Chain A
């Protein structure tokens, strides 16, 4: 068996090179992972080291000082963010949960493929494009930049996220539970509303929180809808600011005082988002 000898020789000679290649690959994979994580730590470190000192009582209780002056806070943006998120949730949660129930509870309906396709496709549309849509729908019609317009833009962004999590959570409720309800003689709407939905509540709440956390950081769709407002405003038909919007405007401004406010705002925003997603994550795990 001459071939045997030839293999054996070559296999023996290549073994050292293969072992080296194996070690090199392991090192590169480890290094690659490190490179992926380094920006995360750098960003956190930067925000903590530069932003923590700028967060004081004023930050939460006052609106920005005029350019060039010291002091002031982001009260206007914090209030604006909450206002926008409430309006967005009215749209995103209502339509999103409805769509999720439709996909999960009427799986044989002939419109299911269409609704699922549109919802999936909607989730990939850039936020700024949805901002243009809300601009056309609300700002052009009412001739006014407003919290309504910004909320609609964020609400459009929420819909597909809520649809998907609602559908996934409802599908986790075993069919036997539905059959048990139906066999008691309950009509389907009763089974869905009183048995299936309550069983899935915590999962749906988690999904909604994740969606809120996701859109809370969006500034692009607000640029030409909510527009921004350096004064505290509680009227949803007027322009409002939002944390990400203020961060964008102040980070790109020339005044160090405003840049400081942007960094502090970024720290607060990132903490809100991480806490929200952490709570959501823990809530799903405990279930």
Chain B
């Protein structure tokens, strides 16, 4: 199958410091892909390059090519349209505190100029169902989003990202701020979601990577050490650094 996302010779700099070195990576559509490695290894830095979030960081610079369906996302395109096609869920739940549950879910659609209440409700329900949150919030759509629990807020953020129907969903340690139960719910969700969207998830929890992902990429100090099917990475890694990490000898 043709990769939906392809990175070639990607280098990312903060000022003069190179944080990520010569990354080559292909991501197949409708898969869950985990980026693992010890903190500071560059996995989050790489993830944020995929929807041009580094444009917002003064001094950050991305070199190399990243293509989405063959189109260079750092080429002559509007970063705004790239971010609409590549959504993101963040480390901590970050619902918009001044908006209701419903307004949060449809915030992206409203930006796009969709005002029709029927469409908005329809999309909100579909997105909330996808995020396995509908049953919990259907009676409180017009209450403030900050009234939800942490786990619910994170699923709300997932629904918010899904509402604009992105092709790829980036998740930056989405469960690191959550309790085990909420974590389990979000992990269950991912395998359901991949029929609609390709997922790239950064996690420093190896067990999570093993449970949810189809492929795993191991990063170490800015290098992509090894990339392959998750089974192979965890049972039969080719690189001894990968082996010592997945067997818990460091990190």
Contacts and interface: CB of A to CB of B under 8 A. Distances in A.
Contacts of A6: 119
Nearest to A8: B165
Contacts, number: 32
B112 A11 contact: yes
Interface string B84-116: 100000000000000000000000010111100
Interface in B47-86: 78, 80-81, 84
A7 B81 contact: no
A287 interface: no
B78 A7 contact: no
Contact of A3 (B78, B111, B112, B123): B123
B114 A10 contact: yes
Interface residues of B, number: 15
A10 B112 contact: yes
Contact of B113 (A4, A14, A19): A14
Interface string A1-36: 001101110110011011100000000000000000
Nearest to B126: A3
Contacts of B81: 15
Nearest to A4: B165
A7 B109 contact: yes
A4 B80 CA distance: 19
A152 B72 CA distance: 71
Dominant secondary structure of chain A at its interface with chain B: helix
B164 interface: yes
Q: Which of A3, A4, A6, A7 has the most CB of B within 10 A?
A: A7
B122 A7 contact: no
Nearest to A6: B119
Dominant secondary structure of chain B at its interface with chain A: helix
Contacts of A10: 112-114
B130 to A, nearest CB: 12
Interface string A52-71: 00000000000000000000
Interface residues of A, number: 12
A17 B112 CA distance: 10
Interface in B126-161: 126
Contacts of A15: 78, 80-81
A4 B123 CA distance: 9
Contacts of A4: 165
A8 B78 CA distance: 16
B56 to A, nearest CB: 15
A131 B67 CA distance: 71
Contact of A14 (B112, B119, B122): B112
A13 to B, nearest CB: 8
Given A4-B165, A19-B78, A11 B84 contact: yes
A50 B105 CA distance: 60
A10 B109 CA distance: 10
A3 B122 contact: yes
Nearest to A13: B113
Contact of B119 (A3, A8, A11, A17): A3
A264 B87 CA distance: 61
Contacts of A18: 80, 111, 113
13 contacts: A7-B164, A10-B112, A11-B84, A11-B112, A11-B113, A11-B114, A11-B164, A14-B112, A15-B80, A18-B80, A18-B111, A19-B78, A19-B80
- A-B residue pairs, 4 tightest by C-beta: A14-B113, A11-B112, A14-B112, A4-B165
Interface of A: 3-4, 6-8, 10-11, 14-15, 17-19
Given A3-B123, A10-B113, 6 more contacts: A7-B109, A7-B123, A7-B164, A14-B113, A15-B80, A18-B111
Interface of B: 78, 80-81, 84, 109, 111-114, 119, 122-123, 126, 164-165
